Amino acid sequence: MNRISVNTAWCKGCGICAAFCPVKVFTQERDGTPVPEYQERCTGCKLCVLRCPDFAIQLEVSGDEPK
Amino acid sequence: MPEMKYDDYLVKSRMPLFWCSGCGNGIVLGAILRAFAKLQLDRHNTVVVTGIGCWGKADDYINTNTFHGTHGRALGFATGIKLANPELKVIALMGDGDGATIGGNHLIHAARRNVDITAIVVNNFNYGMTGGQYSGTTLEETYTTTSQFGHIESAFDLCRLVEAAGAPYVARSHVLNVIQLEGFITEAIRKKGFSFVEALSPCPTHYGRHNGMKTAPKMMQWIKENAITLKEAEKKPQAEWENKFVIGKFTDKESVDYSTRYEAVMALAEASVSKGVSEREG
Amino acid sequence: MNPNNSIRFIQGNEAIAEGAFAAGARFYAGYPITPSSEIAEISSRRLPQLGGLYIQMEDEIGSIAAVIGASASGKKSYTATSGPGFSLMQENLGVAVMAEIPCVIIDIQRSGPSTGLATKPAQADVMQSRWGTHGDHGIIVLSPSSVQECFDLTITAFNFSEKYRTPVILLADEIVGHMKEKMIIRKPGTYDVTDRKQPACDPADYKPFQADADGIAPLAAYGSRFIVRLTGSTHDETGFPNSKPENADKFIRHYTDKIENNKDDIVMTKEYKLEDAEFAVITFGCSTRSALEAMDLARGEGIRVGVLQLVTIWPFADSQVRALCSRMKAIIVPEMNLGQIIREVCRVNDSGIPVIGVNKVNSEAITPFEIMEQIREVSKCRK
Ligand SMILES: Cc1ncc(C[n+]2csc(CCOP(=O)(O)OP(=O)(O)O)c2C)c(N)n1
Ligand code: SF4
Ligand code: SF4
Ligand code: SF4
């Protein structure tokens, strides 16, 4: 399974990742902090990583060599 | 040089970014740094020139050479930097107010001269830094802190403007289309000559808030819904797309850049010296 | 005469351009304006012959920006303008101060305000050259009174700008710029050329605003082994923004101190017959010429007059003028404005002697007779 982690020190809770994930992996806490609740759905498209304005999302796609 | 990853160009010690939650600037910054990595730009040979504004603070997070000048004048500084050392990769980052309103004259002339600079304008439709006043790209009938009864001026189509001024590379995308945006930026940096990329981007704090789009996702959705690709637009009558954001590559052509042309001037000038000498001797 | 030198009969503006080439300047960006345009025209022809670059920008704002940028890329750079263009340059002049970027700005003064008596001479940009850009700062301003000085002081202007990492203004005027005189073009090797200090440290340790013991930070060029961060915003040694009050205080004082603390080196004056003088004329630029003639006329009438020419206008020659005030009976200050240098003279006139201006703003040069008239007046009432 792909592993998504959010760097909460950099994340500002804007909701972009949650709003535009094609398979709705994220839910959000009250302050906007995203929670990758449905990680198992993740297709590894990396759009959330590319669209996060705060460089706060790390994605490890299973099978990817850790770099 | 060891292989550079995109975050090797990021000044991590200054994170988190200064910009508001949901500000599109960070997305454009990411696209630029990934383009740098794709092109394996040498930090020592790259100069990022910024103007003044929220987007103008982008250089705080980039660890290449940098020049942070005055509001609207980034292309003036960039022109001198590039022409004095044509080996440098020079990238100018400007807001719509910065690069296209107060700095509009420099923009068209840099394009006309075809100085080998890549200009990346983040168009968030207003002056973010100073509290959301209208700029030269604010849309008609929208609201800003200085157009509280609806804006009565029409907006510049920056891509058409820069294209008309003669730039060999002109493209527009928006931050939701980040992969396309990154591709345009990469091509633009690779291009020899003046290249221009406009990134439509949310300023949820000001333009969004004043126009019923308090959050970044809402404003990004609005940009997306009002966008049309250049290919689609070309197939339809103008009336159907003239109020939309046309997305795509407007120009991508070859055109001899200023520094290359100046080499010819230098050759003629040198020849005139040797001629002058022989005349004096004779 | 040094056999290497050549004698020419040329215009002040041409001598300024020659001085720039002689100093090693290889980049010009400007926007044409009378009475400075000859400098642009000559530069456009000569710079490409010397492997340098000339570019005509869309306005003076872009011009000074390009000059600053080119200097950051390691080329000695300059621009030439006059009143209206000099006004447009003021904002970016502050960038050169703040980012500590060497460059030379030549202002061939003309009558103002605004378009004014277009292209006619004046000396009314004295205060603008000192305080034109906003915020506290020090600045070096030199003013030539002859074609020879146009050449020599342009070289000095570049040398000071490189040495102190600062913009330097050459404040000439239409009279000197358009006047033709015999002068000596000095040949390389017969005059000093200063180049900016380069960092000696490991590139990883380089901080573009870390001053050495002499108060000046080495400036590497873009494209070198060093990463260079330059900014017009308040920054610390690294070139990253730093808004801490103590940091702002330190750097803002530095911009003034690095000039003021080196006045011994920077302030240049020329003294004429001051040894036995009772009255002194303090002046600069084109008005020096009339002052010297007036001095001779006065001496012919038995009035012991001398002249102090301010070659460096800013920083002001406080100690020289103060000392002069203490031993003169009166001082006369001719200037083609309504009284700019005279304010400075009065500021240091601790001995309270009479200081009298000769001011003319009708676009005509101050004549020796007009200065002479004042000399006669003061000498009468002092007897
Ligand atoms: C000469 C000058 N005029 C005005 C300002 C004030 N100012 C700073 S940023 C800015 C506008 C910024 O808007 P934009 O360029 O669109 O960038 P954004 O903040 O939206 O990223 C203005 C007007 C200034 N710094 N300098
Ligand atoms: S997009 Fe980035 S900053 Fe925004 S909520 Fe998601 S992780 Fe946080
Ligand atoms: S990688 Fe794609 S699918 Fe996975 S969480 Fe991010 S946006 Fe959703
Ligand atoms: S004010 Fe607007 S442009 Fe500026 S950081 Fe905030 S969202 Fe971005």
- Residue where one domain finishes, among candidates C200, C232, C266: C266
**Residues C223, C253 share a domain:** yes
Strand ranges (DSSP E) for B60-104? Answer: 65-68, 89-95
pLDDT of residue C153: 98
Cβ neighbours of residue C201 under 8 Å, at least 6 residues apart?
none
The alpha-carbon gap from C99 to the nearest alpha carbon of chain B, in Å, equals: 9
Average pLDDT over residues C18-42: 98
Say if residue C8's pLDDT is above 80: yes
Q: Which of A51, A52, A58 to mutate to test the interface with B (most CBs of B within 10 A)?
A: A51
B109 touches chain C (CB under 8 A): yes
Angle in degrees, CA B80, B158, B254, rounded to 5: 60
CA distance A56 to A35: 12
Torsion angle of the four alpha carbons A58, A61, A64, A67, in this order, in degrees rounded to the nearest 10: 0
How many domains does one find in chain C? 2
Q: Which domain holds residue C363?
A: 271-381
CA distance A7 to A16: 15
How much distance in Å is there from the Cα of A52 to the middle of ligand 3? 11
β-bridge mates for residue C103, sequence order: C167
Which among B16, B21, B23 has the least Cβ separation from residue A9? B16
Is the beta carbon of B127 within 6 A of some atom in ligand 1?
yes
3-state secondary structure of B81: helix
Nearest CA to ligand 4 atom 4: B128
CA distance C336 to C359: 6
pLDDT of residue C200: 96
pLDDT of residue B275: 77
Question: Could you please report the per-residue DSSP string of C127-162?
Answer: HHHHH-SSSS---EEE--SSHHHHHHHHHHHHHHHH
Q: Which of A7, A8, A14, A67 to mutate to test the interface with B (most CBs of B within 10 A)?
A: A14
Write down which chains contact chain A via at least 3 CB pairs under 8 A: B
Best of A11, A37, A58 for a ligand 2 pocket test (most atoms within 8 Å of beta carbon): A11
Determine how β-strand C103-109 pairs with β-strand C180-185. unpaired
CA distance B251 to B229: 14
Q: Which amino acid is at B255?
A: S
How far, CA to CA in Å, does C36 sit from each of B50, C48, C80, C96, C107?
Answer: 31, 20, 6, 21, 8
Q: Which amino acid is at A56?
A: A
- Residue where one domain finishes, among candidates C206, C234, C266: C266
pLDDT of residue B281: 40
Which among A12, A47, A55 has the least Cβ separation from residue B21? A12
For B117, the token pair is: 């600079």
Asked whether the beta carbons of residue A10 and residue B23 sit closer than 8 angstroms, the reply is no
- The rounded Cα B7 to chain-centroid distance in angstroms is 21
* Residues C311 and C156: beta-carbon distance below 8 Å: no
CA distance C18 to B259: 24
CB atoms inside a 10 Å sphere around CB A18: 21
Identify which ligand lies nearest to the alpha carbon of B214. 4
Q: Taking phi first (over 0 means left), then psi (-120 to 50 degrees means alpha), and beta for anything else, what does residue B215 get?
A: beta
**Residues C94, C206 share a domain:** yes
Angle in degrees, CA B170, B175, B181, rounded to 5: 40
Element (H, E) at A57: strand A57-60
The alpha-carbon gap from A1 to the nearest alpha carbon of chain B, in Å, equals: 24
Q: What is the mean pLDDT of each run of 10 residues along chain B (282 residues)?
A: 94 98 98 98 98 98 98 98 98 98 98 98 98 98 98 98 98 98 98 98 98 98 98 96 96 98 96 68 37
For C311, the token pair is: 């070659």
* pTM metric for this prediction: 0.97
CB atoms inside a 10 Å sphere around CB C275: 8
pLDDT of residue B282: 34
CA distance B151 to B156: 13
Taking the domains of chain A in order of start, what are their residue ranges? 3-60
Q: Which amino acid is at C98?
A: M
Determine how β-strand B65-68 pairs with β-strand B89-95. unpaired
CA distance B65 to B77: 13
pLDDT of residue B144: 98
β-bridge mates for residue C106, sequence order: C80, C170
Average predicted confidence (pLDDT) for chain C: 97
Cα end-to-end span (Å), chain B = 54
pLDDT of residue A67: 45
The model's confidence at residue A64, banded by pLDDT at 50, 70 and 90, is low
- Residue where one domain finishes, among candidates C250, C266, C282: C266
* Residues C142 and C313: beta-carbon distance below 8 Å: yes
Query: Measured between beta carbons, which residues in chain A are less than 8 angstroms from residue B175?
Result: 51, 53
**Residues C318, C208 share a domain:** no
Determine how β-strand B46-50 pairs with β-strand A57-60. unpaired
Average pLDDT over residues C240-245: 97
How much distance in Å is there from the Cα of B34 to the middle of ligand 1? 27
Closest ligand 1 atom to B127 CA = 13
**Residues C222, C180 share a domain:** yes
β-bridge mates for residue C230, sequence order: B67
Half-sphere exposure at residue B246, Cβ-oriented, CA atoms within 13 angstroms? 22
CA distance C283 to C313: 10
Tell me phi and psi for residue C321, to 5 degrees: -70, -40
**Residues C134, C251 share a domain:** yes
**Residues C354, C313 share a domain:** yes
**Residues C283, C345 share a domain:** yes
Cα end-to-end span (Å), chain A = 17
Burial (CB < 10 A; 0-12, 13-18, 19+), residue B243, is exposed
**Residues C123, C2 share a domain:** yes
Per DSSP, chain A holds a count of helices (H) and strands (E) of 2, 4
Say if residue C380's pLDDT is above 90: no
CA distance C312 to C333: 16
Cβ neighbours of residue C30 under 8 Å, at least 6 residues apart?
C36, C39, C40, C43, C56, C57, C60, C63, C79, C80, C81
Is the beta carbon of A5 within 6 A of some atom in ligand 3?
no
* Residues B151 and B144: beta-carbon distance below 8 Å: yes
ipTM of the shown complex: 0.97
Taking the domains of chain B in order of start, what are their residue ranges? 24-254
3-state secondary structure of C96: helix
pLDDT in tens, A36-61: 999 999 999 999 999 999 999 999 99
Answer CATH for A3-60 from 3.30.70.20, 3.30.465.10, 3.40.50.1820, 3.30.70.270: 3.30.70.20
CA distance C67 to B4: 32
**Residues C289, C206 share a domain:** no
3-state secondary structure of A32: coil
The model's confidence at residue C277, banded by pLDDT at 50, 70 and 90, is very high
Asked whether the beta carbons of residue A14 and residue B19 sit closer than 8 angstroms, the reply is no
Which among A9, A16, A55 has the least Cβ separation from residue B22? A16
CA distance B255 to B252: 10
CATH number of the structural domain spanning residue C162: 3.40.50.970
The model's confidence at residue C118, banded by pLDDT at 50, 70 and 90, is confident
The DSSP call for residue C383 is -
Q: Which of residues 13-42 of B touch C (CB under 8 A)?
A: 14
CA distance B83 to B81: 6
The alpha-carbon gap from B29 to the nearest alpha carbon of chain A, in Å, equals: 8
Q: Which of B8, B10, B52, B70 to mutate to test the interface with C (most CBs of C within 10 A)?
A: B70
Which among C55, C57, C223 has the least Cβ separation from residue B87? C223
pLDDT in tens, C301-336: 999 999 999 999 999 999 999 999 999 999 999 999
Closest ligand 4 atom to B204 CA = 7
pLDDT of residue C383: 47
CA distance C178 to C258: 34
Burial (CB < 10 A; 0-12, 13-18, 19+), residue A57, is buried
3-state secondary structure of B60: helix
* Residues C146 and C154: beta-carbon distance below 8 Å: no
pLDDT of residue A65: 56
Average pLDDT over residues C211-215: 97
Nearest chain A residue to B29, by CA: A53
pLDDT of residue C174: 97
Identify which ligand lies nearest to the alpha carbon of A33. 2
CA distance B65 to B78: 12
Instruction: Report percent pLDDT > 90 for chain C.
Output: 97
Half-sphere exposure at residue C119, Cβ-oriented, CA atoms within 13 angstroms? 7
**Backbone CA torsion sign across C371, C374, C378, C380:** positive
Is the beta carbon of B23 within 6 A of some atom in ligand 4?
yes
The CATH number of the structural domain formed by B24-254 is: 3.40.50.970
Asked whether the beta carbons of residue A15 and residue B217 sit closer than 8 angstroms, the reply is yes
For C23, the token pair is: 């100093």
Which among C65, C70, C227 has the least Cβ separation from residue B69? C65
Q: Which amino acid is at A15?
A: G
Identify which ligand lies nearest to the alpha carbon of A57. 2
